[in-house]
Amino acid sequence: MSVTDSSPLEIAKAASISSRNLAITDTSSRNDALTAIHGALSEARETILAANAEDLKAANKAAEDGKLSQSVIKRLDLSRPGKYDDMLKGILDVRKLEDPLNQTTLKTILDDELVLERVSCPIGVLLIIFEARPEVIANISALAIKSGNSAILKGGKETTLSFLAISKVISSALSTTQIPNSSIQLVTTHADIASLLDLDQYIDLVIPRGSSDLVRYIKTHTRIPVLGHADGICNTYVTASADPSMAVKLVLDAKLDYLAACNALDILLIDEAALTTVLPPVATALIEKGVSLRCDASSKTALSSSLPRSQSVLLQDAEDKDFSTEFLGPTIAIKTVPTPTASSADNIATAACTLAIAHINANSSHHTDAIITAVPSSSDSTDEKIARQFQRGVDSACVFWNTSTRMSDGMRFGFGTEVGISTNKIHARGPVGLEGLTIYKYLVSGRGQGVGDYAGEAGRKWRHEKVV
């Protein structure tokens, strides 16, 4: 890794050249580089945490002045329990994964001794722009190297000292390996970004990680494809059959495990039939944990009559905008899914689920959404059918059943780590790990055949026999 003061054009050109060389390195060389980075970051823990502490001191002062949010500070803090170790583990997890390059995903015999193959390969040059997440520099360096991509990294000014400390350690580690330092470059000035975003002839993909404002800025200021998400507006739909204790557990986990996470729960959709059964214990548990509840009229009425006054007086009236808001803090919006008129219980459940799906598709950010039902007794039970209807119908990158929205994570998916969550509908979607940083090329190998050999009635005939 190099911290460079070269011009944006020179940086992009160097990255492009490095990407060609990195793409043909063998698996062991790339894995050795990850081993070296892991070891160096392990040894430099105290130095890096000291730099991070200085960033935190400045960030807390900015927060006191109203210039920085608490959610940003939480993302910045590398000393949070387990965070540094998770960063290190992510590198090892990536190292042990199968090499994503040169994998044949399609093979077709076009004719005798004429074979078509689709083979995985690197994307090329990645431009990653991120805010307040110092561990990202290690995560992305590992993913980029393993997937054969070169990367240009730009961190937020609030984490400058952390980024510099980590980059120096990674640069020193790479100097002992077969991977050139120019494969990973760190730029430190905001002025470089606008110029880099214009260099689509050298940069193949932009990955922004940070606020919705950052992502929207990137998407409107470049011709380069952008992979990422602007908002993480996450819903959980609780059906009438849901077990109250499981609902309490999963809602608390989704909301409170990490309030500032993009996959934290924002909107709780509740079946009208569950307003007096499942919702009260869920609401009580949230209130006891200091979460503010913004309720629609039906849920507020139900809770006002079922909760003790000490809790019911804390309920707030929801506004329409609350049901399409990423709160990034101790607030949750509650919306009732009305009970439709139908001929049977199964039809009622199906119709209610349809309403929930419609609300989510119209108001979510298509990041991560979940449904909570009873645990089904059989594969053809109503709960199984409703859950599968929900998973098929919700148009989000991740759609879960009877688990927390916080499960939406590359490490938890077994990807080693991730560069981010994508809500795109092209190339990569959901947690983007190694596979999401590869593309493919088509290889055709023949023995002198040309298209003219297949022309006309007398020409050769295609076999088109699929092998893989």
Query: Which residues does residue 400 pair with via DSSP β-bridges, in sequence order?
Result: 370
Q: Is the pTM of this model over 0.75?
A: yes
How many angstroms separate the CA atoms of 27 and 271, rounded?
A: 51
DSSP state of 191: H
Token pair of 423 as six digits: 């809500």
Say whether pLDDT at 230 is over 80. Answer: no
Residue 446 burial (10 A CB sphere; 0-12, 13-18, 19+): middle
Structural domains of the chain, ranges and CATH numbers in brackets: 2-227+419-441 (3.40.605.10), 234-407 (3.40.309.10)
Output the pLDDT for position 380.
74
Q: Are 203 and 196 in contact (CB under 8 A)?
A: yes
Q: Read out DSSP for 71-87? A: HHHHHH-TTSTTHHHHH
How many angstroms separate the CA atoms of 219 and 213, rounded?
A: 10
Taking residue 190's Cβ as centre, other Cβ atoms within 10 Å add up to 11
3-state percent breakdown (helix, strand, coil) of the chain, nearest 5: 45, 20, 35
48-107 tens-digit pLDDT: 999 999 999 999 998 888 888 887 888 899 999 999 999 999 999 999 999 999 999 999
Report the pLDDT averaged over residues 218-228.
92
Q: Are 404 and 81 in contact (CB under 8 A)?
A: no
263-303 tens-digit pLDDT: 999 999 999 999 999 999 999 999 999 999 999 999 999 99
Q: Are 126 and 80 in contact (CB under 8 A)?
A: no
18-46 tens-digit pLDDT: 999 999 999 999 999 999 999 999 999 99
- Cα–Cα distances in angstroms (integers) from residue 189 to residues 128, 193, 277, in the given order: 14, 8, 55
